Homo-oligomer: A and B are copies of this chain.
């Protein structure tokens, strides 16, 4: 890990989070993307542009994948790739003014190096450095105590459970119950805090899973697609983030219709 790059990310995320927090005090410019629940605001675009400008200034050779499409068109994962979600949970940002996050994943030749998730309204910055550790506001997080799926909570989307996408109701039946915060960032935070044994989503885009993939990898969690393979940071996929004790069982439940 390049610790100067790490340091810069922390500084930039603090700045971006502060700007987002202040923006909630005024009227946001909200546009619909594909549906009334798929929103984008001027703050999504401005936050992404802020990171892109910083990266271009200090790391002009790095590639950037951003949710709002202001980065590069990336078709190979060689070298250093940044994957940025400027506001994960824009619907929560607009409607709830809570439970949204900034996410950044750093990849080297397609493999995770470090991940960062900022829970803006709680002023909590989680990050993981692969091969080192996972931290909350620079404090190492406690080791995990998940033992079995039937003694644990799970995290996922209400609509996906309800529609039994990928047989997700099986997770409800086996576990102690599900929680749903409406943001991959906040759900991955729930997972790494040990609130639940797994987080599954039926269709995550690279910016939705990149940071969580790197943080979970740093923590010893398993992160795979539905067929058990490593996620590809260029592809939308169903992704299972799970404690190693429950990953295989969950994968089998999700694969068997």
Q: Is the CB of B150 within 8 A of A36?
A: yes
Interface string of A189-228 (1 = CB under 8 A from B): 0100111100000000000000000000000000000000
Interface string of A117-149 (1 = CB under 8 A from B): 000000000000000000000000000000000
Bound: A161/B176 CA distance, A: 16
**Which of B91, B98, B172 contacts A177, CB < 8 Å?**
B91
Bound: A158/B91 CA distance, A: 19
Report B-chain residues with C-beta under 8 Å of the C-beta of A172.
158-159, 162
Bound: A152/B91 CA distance, A: 9
Report B-chain residues with C-beta under 8 Å of the C-beta of A176.
36-37, 91, 95
Bound: A98/B162 CA distance, A: 25
Q: What range describes how many residues of A lie at the interface?
A: 20 to 34
Chain B nearest CB: distance from A33 CB in Å?
A: 13
Q: Is the CB of B195 within 8 A of A95?
A: yes
Report B-chain residues with C-beta under 8 Å of the C-beta of A181.
179, 181
Q: Is the CB of A91 within 8 A of B151?
A: no
Chain B nearest CB: distance from A158 CB in Å?
A: 4
Chain B nearest CB: distance from A185 CB in Å?
A: 14
Bound: A193/B96 CA distance, A: 8
Additional A-B contact list (13), CB under 8 Å, known A96-B193, A96-B195, A158-B180: A37-B177, A92-B179, A95-B152, A95-B196, A96-B153, A97-B193, A99-B179, A153-B182, A158-B172, A162-B172, A178-B180, A179-B181, A181-B181
